[in-house]
């Protein structure tokens, strides 16, 4: 099992390196044409750029509609891998088929190895068909999105003018909400200051009352002391004067 996994890993690395060569050699007309290595490299770069554009479109669709793309990609990937596994197990000469397409001999030699097993062969075909698989996924996702929009599960993307209007309305609502919040806190602040002033007035009134009571008590004490002193000086005052 470990040997099979190692062989599959080596095949995966080989496929990732020679992907352009596979696409280059897929057509006998191109392979047999007298094109210099320089133009061949340029064509390979063009193929790689197209592949990058496909992957960029895949990523863009994933960012916007990941909830549709992921199920579609899983279903199509399972279908691709299952189909390749069925072909390999049914006895289809995969290596001969690829040789008829003039695929690189290093790839077909790996596929002819009887020790690789059906899973490794299926995985190799799965990796080779990556651009086609991504194209099918994007197409299936686009069709699914159109049907979901038609059924009302996905709302259509607004136009640029509508987005500007929505942005303007949202901005106005936020500004109005901000003003209302600011006015609310301003009223709360004023109410707080008014309550503090009222408390100060109440405290001042209580202080004045306490001062008045204090002055009255002090005056009563002074009057009582004055009467006591007069009684002590007077010979007519009894030993227990009336208060």
Q: Are residues 147 and 168 in the same domain?
A: no
pLDDT reported for residue 42? 52
Per-residue pLDDT tens digits for 31-73: 444 445 554 555 555 555 555 678 888 888 888 889 999 999 9
| Helix 117-128 vs helix 2-17: crossing angle, to nearest 10 | 20
| Domain assignment present for 70 | yes
Q: Are residues 70 and 140 in the same domain?
A: yes
| Domain assignment present for 44 | no
| Domain assignment present for 198 | yes
| Domain assignment present for 29 | no
Q: Are residues 62 and 135 in the same domain?
A: yes
| Domain assignment present for 16 | no
Percent pLDDT > 70 in the chain is 70
Task: For 14, list phi and psi in degrees, rounded to 5.
Answer: -65, -40
Q: State the DSSP string of 41-52.
A: HHHHHHHHHHHH
| Domain assignment present for 18 | no
Domain range spanning residue 195? 158-228
Q: Are residues 151 and 55 in the same domain?
A: yes
Q: Are residues 125 and 224 in the same domain?
A: no
Show which of 132, 157, 182 is a domain's final residue.
157
Per the structure, how many domains does the chain have? 2
Q: Tell which residue, 131, 141, 132, 1, has the closest CA to residue 62.
A: 141
> In which band, very low, low, confident or very high, does the pLDDT at 26 lie, cut at 50, 70 and 90?
very low
């Amino acid at each position: 099992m470990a040997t099979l996994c190692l062989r599959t890993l080596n095949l995966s690395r080989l496929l990732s390196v020679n992907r352009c060569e596979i696409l280059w050699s897929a057509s006998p007309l191109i392979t047999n044409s007298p094109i210099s290595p320089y133009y061949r490299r340029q064509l390979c770069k063009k193929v790689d750029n197209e592949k990058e554009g496909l992957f960029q479109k895949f990523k863009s669709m994933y960012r916007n509609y990941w909830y549709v793309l992921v199920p579609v990609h899983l279903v199509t990937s399972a279908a691709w891998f299952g189909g390749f596994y069925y072909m390999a197990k049914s006895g289809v000469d995969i290596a001969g088929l690829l040789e008829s397409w003039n695929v690189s001999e290093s790839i077909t030699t790996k596929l002819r190895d009887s020790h690789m097993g059906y899973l490794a062969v299926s995985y190799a075909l799965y990796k080779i068909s990556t651009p086609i698989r991504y194209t099918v996924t994007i197409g299936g996702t686009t069709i699914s999105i159109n049907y979901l929009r038609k059924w009302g599960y996905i709302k259509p993307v607004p136009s640029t003018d509508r987005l500007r209007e929505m942005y303007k309305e949202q901005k106005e609502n936020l500004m109005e909400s901000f003003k209302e919040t600011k006015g609310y806190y301003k009223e709360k602040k004023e109410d707080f200051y008014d309550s503090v002033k009222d408390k100060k007035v109440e405290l001042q009134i209580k202080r004045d009352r306490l001062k008045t009571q204090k002055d009255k008590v002090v005056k009563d004490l002074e009057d009582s002391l004055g009467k006591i002193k007069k009684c002590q000086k007077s010979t007519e005052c009894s030993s227990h004067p009336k208060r």
